Homo-oligomer: A and B are copies of this chain.
Amino acid sequence: MAPRRKHDILNATLDLLAEKGYEGLTVEGVAERSGVNKTTIYRWWPSKAALLGAALVEARALDFEAPDTGSLRGDLHAVVEATARLLTTPPASDIAVAALGAAAGNPELAAAIQGFFADRYARELPIFERARARGEIDDEPDPMMIMDLLAGAVWLRVVFRGLPLDESFTGDAVSVVLGGVAAEPGSRRGD
């Protein structure tokens, strides 16, 4: 399939998800919106969940370029800002919330979302390799734990609590993960 055609199909998929939710998303609707024949779409993606899985990883609306700012603090700040932007700016925020919501009770879609997070994590790993090379972290901290804490905090605050992100949110979150909240040095990790 021509890259531009594939691109049109995947973007139509996310547009329709943002507009109509997962229930309202249909392969027929994607065919109509993208101007590509329905049978052509089915030849590439056997189900609505498979189509959405590909769209989540490949479409431009959720695109993610891992930052390289020269410091771990700068890189983490950029990643959290990107997550915050994604979860507060339509249509990406509608896409993310609708996809996650529909995954409850839909194992095929849940697998597609796990693929999305795995893809993103693979692109985040160089941040931690560079931080180790610079001596900013030692071998012990698990990069996945760091990303779970930071991205999870954005989800909790914005989506679950429904609260706005104040200006200091990103800086505060990164500072806690880098330096901790304990008052005494004796509480530092590994002591």
Interface residues of A (CB under 8 A from B): 21, 72-73, 97-98, 100-105, 110-111, 113-114, 117-118, 135-138, 141-142, 144-157, 160-162, 169, 172-173, 175-185, 187-191
Contact = CB atoms under 8 A, between A and B. Distances in A.
Contacts of A154: 152
Nearest to A140: B181
Nearest to A114: B162
A161 B120 CA distance: 11
Given A21-B104, A136-B182, A180-B188, A145 B160 contact: no
Contacts of A151: 152, 156
Given A157-B148, A178-B180, A180-B176, A187 B142 contact: no
A76 to B, nearest CB: 10
Contacts of A73: 187
A43 B103 CA distance: 33
Assembly stoichiometry (copies)? 2
A180 B179 contact: yes
A149 B172 CA distance: 11
B101 A137 contact: no
Contact of A160 (B98, B117, B141, B142): B117
Given A146-B181, A172-B142, A182-B178, A136 B105 contact: no
Contacts of A146: 176, 181
Given A113-B162, A151-B152, A179-B182, 12 more contacts: A97-B105, A101-B104, A111-B162, A113-B160, A135-B184, A145-B153, A146-B181, A147-B156, A148-B153, A148-B173, A149-B173, A152-B153
Contacts of A138: 183
A183 B137 contact: yes
A179 B187 CA distance: 6
